[in-house]
Structure 1
Amino acid sequence: MKTELAGIRKTFGETDALNGINLEIGEGEFVAIVGPSGCGKTTLLRLIAGFETPSAGEIRMGGHTVAGPDHATPPEKRDLGMVFQSFALWPHMTVSEQVAFPLRHHRFIDPALKRDAAGRVRQMLSMVGLAQYGSRMPSELSGGQKQRVAIARALAPNPSLLLMDEPLSSLDARLRLELRNEIQTIHRQTGTSIVYVTHDQDEALAMADRIVVMNGGKIEQAGTPEEIYSRPDTPFVATFIGKANLIPGDWRDGRFHPFGSTEVAWAVPDVAPVFRDTGLCPLRPEQLAFGTGEGIRGTVRNVLYQGREIHYTIDVGQQTVDLVTGLAGRLSAGDPVVLQYRPIPVGSSPAINEMEYR
């Protein structure tokens, strides 16, 4: 089912929570909505779910208008499922009963699924790795297991659209990684459209077909993870998704002169016009390297060993620059360095960015 948002605006009093949102979610697409706290991403999800009514604009699902300024189809009359951050399991129901509940009450369920509810429950619990947990109560489950139950319950009636509101934020790092893989697998198996709200940029980059970056109630950029990371449209996107260095300088004849240098010129491709217009160049930490000869001189401030790579913070005048290298030739705080641009594909493994500094 295709979902379309056209000219969506949402106000609370005199505050615009959303302003001019235009977005299309394709059938079977996994869309992640990311942004800082207060950017409007949860409000957007609540509008799609039917918990809020837009102040202006329309929401269409499957070609039918489900929301506008004067009306909103209630959530139970939209063909969707929802997974919350807080799990939202009923404490008096077993795991199997949790998953079976929407099979009895979902308006759009296929009659065949309803007739074989027990089989569908077994299928969903097996899909999320809880085949042997059907008789347990929520109090007997870990946090990760509870979230798996919530996902199975939301998917049991086979909704056309699944909404997920920061579903992994309350879990520890290991469980988040584990459930990322599970959600990706489930998405491939079911083909359900997913709108996934998160503040975790790594989750969005790892899981989504398309990322929507929001800021101040508006969409800053929408595109594939590769487009968002490699070719950010604005300084906000460059620094929010990953951690780009916004290096000041001059653009002359298609080349960038960092920090106003007349001797050093870098040929950096695919830089959005806004950066050229404002005298900035967004470079990811893996696009900088230590070298000899011409370059930008600086001093190592901090050294962070990360196992397979080393993260450096470099003082260059009044600015700091982040750089990632492999393990060879480790430097120490206070060492003088020369920074050079390394034209490698953005996002390549930092381990190949071995240091040439001697």
Structure 2
Amino acid sequence: MTIQLREVCKTFGSYTALRNVDLDIADGEFVAILGPSGCGKTTLLRMLAGFEQPTSGEIRMDGEVVAGASSLIPPEKRRIGMVFQHFALWPHMNIHEHVRFPIRTHKKTPKAIRDNEAARIEQVLALVGLSHLAKRMPHELSGGQKQRVAIARAIAAEPSLLLMDEPLSSLDALLRMNMRREIQSVHRETGSAVVYVTHDQGEALSMADRIVVMKEGRIEQIGSPQDIYLKPETEFVAQFVSKANLVRGHWDNDMFIPEGSGSSVQWRGSEVAGYFKSNGLYPVRPDQLELGPVQDGGLVGQVANVQFQGKEFNYDIIAAGQQWEVISPVPYKLNDKVSVTIPQRELQYA
């Protein structure tokens, strides 16, 4: 299923949730909608599902207008599946019945699946690793198993579009990692387009083909995970996704001179977005900076805070009148003087 959103806006009274959203989603593509709470990502998902109607603009699926200011095709008439944040399982149905339900009730269920219901249920339960628990009730399941049931139910009728609203947010860290792999496997096996809403940068970067970063109802940037992480185009994307430090200074063509360094420190930045150049900023991630003994060629800084993280240390470094976050495997103590540099190998991304 291909999807097009054109100048989509949504208001609730005086509050504007979405502002002129334009987005294309290819057949079979995994798109993550990433942003903080209140940025409009869940509203966007609900409009794709058919639960909300645009105030203006239109949404097309496979070329057909499914939503506009004066028209709305309801969810049951769209070939979609949805996984909710809190599982939304029915307490009176076992796992087998949960998977069977959309096959029997969804108006867009293909005839081949309706005619081979038992085989499809077995296939879906095997895909999510729940064949041996088919008769279990929801209260007998762990959190991860419940989430697998929710995914199985969503894909049972073979939707062309799978919508996922922060499906892993209620799981613990280890289980989230395992479920990421499960979701990727389901995506590969089904070939459905996936729109995955999350506020977790790690989830978006690890699973999506493309990421849509949203802020205050608008799209800030669209790109591959690598482009979003390595080549942010705005200050918000640089800090929300890459956790980048925004170093102040000035640009001389494609060379950046950090504030307070004179001209002794210069960082190459031919690929840095125009926004940063026009605002005298240089985005640099905590893992790009390197700490060492005070020497020529680096900015002199002082350790303001240390957090031990096992294989590395998270430092707050005061340098050139600014505070930066730096990740380094080298141990330093509070108030140590250090040299802050960007190795040549890191400048190739800048």
Asked if these proteins are the same fold (TM beyond 0.5), I'd say yes
Q: CA deviation at 1:299?
A: 0.6
Q: CA deviation at 1:295?
A: 1.5
1:78-89 aligned at under 5 Å gives the runs: 78-89=78-89
1:66-105 aligned at under 5 Å gives the runs: 66-105=66-105
Query: What residue identity is the alignment partner of 2:303?
Result: V
1:84-233 aligned at under 5 Å gives the runs: 84-233=84-233
State the match for 1:332 in structure 2.
Answer: 333
Secondary structure class of the residue paired with 1:286: coil
Separation (CA, whole Å) in 1 of partners of 2:73 and 2:142: 35
Specify whether residues 132 and 118 from structure 1 end up closer, same or farther in structure 2 by C-alpha distance, changes over 3 A only.
Answer: same
State the match for 2:248 in structure 1.
Answer: 248
1:243-322 aligned at under 5 Å gives the runs: 243-262=243-262, 263-291=264-292, 292-322=295-325
Q: CA deviation at 1:323?
A: 1.3
Residue segments in structure 1 that go unaligned for 5+ positions in a row: 349-358
RMSD: 1.4
Do 2:230 and 2:242's aligned partners in 1 also have CA atoms closer than 8 Å? no
Do 1:248 and 1:280's aligned partners in 2 also have CA atoms closer than 8 Å? yes
Query: What residue identity is the alignment partner of 2:336?
Result: D
Q: Please identify, of 298-307 and 218-227, the stretch whose mean Cα deviation from structure 2 is larger.
A: 298-307
Secondary structure class of the residue paired with 1:180: helix
User: Which portions of structure 1, spanning 4 or more consecutive aligned residues, are displaced by more than 6 angstroms?
Assistant: none
State the match for 1:352 in structure 2.
Answer: none
Q: CA deviation at 1:112?
A: 1.6
State the match for 1:53 in structure 2.
Answer: 53
Q: Please identify, of 276-285 and 301-310, the stretch whose mean Cα deviation from structure 2 is larger.
A: 301-310
Do 1:268 and 1:343's aligned partners in 2 also have CA atoms closer than 8 Å? no
Separation (CA, whole Å) in 2 of partners of 1:83 and 1:279: 43
Query: What residue identity is the alignment partner of 2:316?
Result: T
Q: Please identify, of 69-78 and 107-116, the stretch whose mean Cα deviation from structure 2 is larger.
A: 107-116
Separation (CA, whole Å) in 1 of partners of 2:346 and 2:267: 15
Separation (CA, whole Å) in 1 of partners of 2:48 and 2:254: 43
Query: What residue identity is the alignment partner of 1:322?
Result: E
Specify whether residues 345 and 31 from structure 1 end up closer, same or farther in structure 2 by C-alpha distance, changes over 3 A only.
Answer: farther
Residue segments in structure 2 that go unaligned for 5+ positions in a row: none
Q: Please identify, of 9-18 and 193-202, the stretch whose mean Cα deviation from structure 2 is larger.
A: 9-18
Q: CA deviation at 1:344?
A: 2.7
Q: CA deviation at 1:307?
A: 2.3
Specify whether residues 269 and 323 from structure 1 end up closer, same or farther in structure 2 by C-alpha distance, changes over 3 A only.
Answer: farther
Separation (CA, whole Å) in 1 of partners of 2:337 and 2:209: 42
Specify whether residues 166 and 346 from structure 1 end up closer, same or farther in structure 2 by C-alpha distance, changes over 3 A only.
Answer: farther
Query: What residue identity is the alignment partner of 1:331?
Result: Y
Q: CA deviation at 1:88?
A: 0.7
Deviations 1:34-79 (A, max 9, x none): 1111100000001111111101100000110001001110010111
Structure 1 length-normalised TM: 0.94
Do 2:155 and 2:162's aligned partners in 1 also have CA atoms closer than 8 Å? yes
Give the aligned length. Answer: 346
Q: CA deviation at 1:318?
A: 4.1
Do 2:245 and 2:324's aligned partners in 1 also have CA atoms closer than 8 Å? yes
Structure 2 length-normalised TM: 0.96
Deviations 1:61-105 (A, max 9, x none): 011000100111001011100000010111000100000001101
Do 1:163 and 1:196's aligned partners in 2 also have CA atoms closer than 8 Å? yes
Do 2:299 and 2:320's aligned partners in 1 also have CA atoms closer than 8 Å? no
Secondary structure class of the residue paired with 1:287: coil
